[in-house]
Amino acid sequence: MRYYTLLEILYPTEEVNYDIQIPQDRLPYVDIKVEGSVSRRHLFRFSQTIADLEQWTRPILVETFRSLNAIDVSTPISHAVRAIPEFGAKTTLEEVAQFRQAISESIPQFQQIMKSLNKVFHSAPNQEIRDYLKETVGHYITSGEKICNSALASLSSGDSKLMCEAAESLRQHLSLAEEVSRKKLYLMSRFGIDPAEL
């Protein structure tokens, strides 16, 4: 991604015009902003995105969010959480083994989700969306995988306290999926995309 800044200092009644030549296949990935300020102390400042490119960017934005909706980032953790036994005096070895198996099945799911997410990342037409995919969704997935690996180690230890802590970590991580979803909905509304379009 390349960023260019063109700076002009204008005085009253002056104007500036730019001609920009962009190949049509690159137009969906272009974001042009006009920013300005009045006076050295920035008495008045504005920033406005050029909306004329929407006819090219909107279809790809919609497809990006459609692809993102098809990826359920909470699936691996949900799978593990459903297998958490009621830890206590009556917890059986079989229940712990089933929990361990569920976590083991979850780990490859994280890797599959990350592959799908990378495809969406590389086709996303906007830096703000790519930042969300990397910093929010990507972080959720990688930290979820680490929590699962840590939970496996706790289950292998045979320490019931560590097992309970591992189960609680999984539950807490599952609850964070709501925040990932909220941020996605915020981005969709920011770009004027109705969930019904997806």
- What is the tens place of the pLDDT at every residue in 157-176? 888 899 999 999 999 999 99
Give the pLDDT score at 53. 61
Please check whether residue 184 is in contact with residue 129, taking contact to mean a CB–CB distance below 8 angstroms. no
State the number of CA atoms in the 13 A half-sphere of 60 facing the CB. Answer: 19
Check residue 38 and report its DSSP letter. Answer: E
Question: Can you read off the two tokens belonging to residue 113?
Answer: 């989700």
Question: Can you read off the two tokens belonging to residue 9?
Answer: 């200092």
pLDDT band at 1 (very low <50, low <70, confident <90, very high): low
Task: Indicate the domain borders of the chain.
Answer: 54-197
**pLDDT, tens digit, 9 for 90 and up, residues 100-157:** 999 999 999 999 999 999 999 998 888 899 999 999 999 999 999 999 999 999 998 8
Of residues 1 and 127, the one with the higher pLDDT is 127
Check residue 197 and report its DSSP letter. Answer: G
Question: Can you read off the two tokens belonging to residue 127?
Answer: 């830096």
Q: Helix, strand or coil for residue 174?
A: helix
- pTM, rounded to two decimals: 0.75
**pLDDT, tens digit, 9 for 90 and up, residues 50-90:** 666 666 678 888 999 999 999 999 999 999 999 999 888 88
161-164 CB contacts, 8 Å cutoff, 24+ apart = 163/87, 163/96, 164/87
How many degrees, rounded to 5, is the angle at CA 140 between CA 70 and CA 1?
Answer: 75
Please check whether residue 79 is in contact with residue 109, taking contact to mean a CB–CB distance below 8 angstroms. yes
Q: What contacts 33, CB < 8 A, 6 or more positions away?
A: 47, 48, 49, 50
**Thinking of the domain 54-197, which architecture would CATH place it in?**
Up-down Bundle (1.20)
Does position 2 have pLDDT exceeding 80, yes or no?
no
Q: How far is CA 198 from CA 55, 68, 93, 188, in A?
A: 17, 10, 45, 11
Q: Helix, strand or coil for residue 64?
A: helix
52, amino acid identity: D
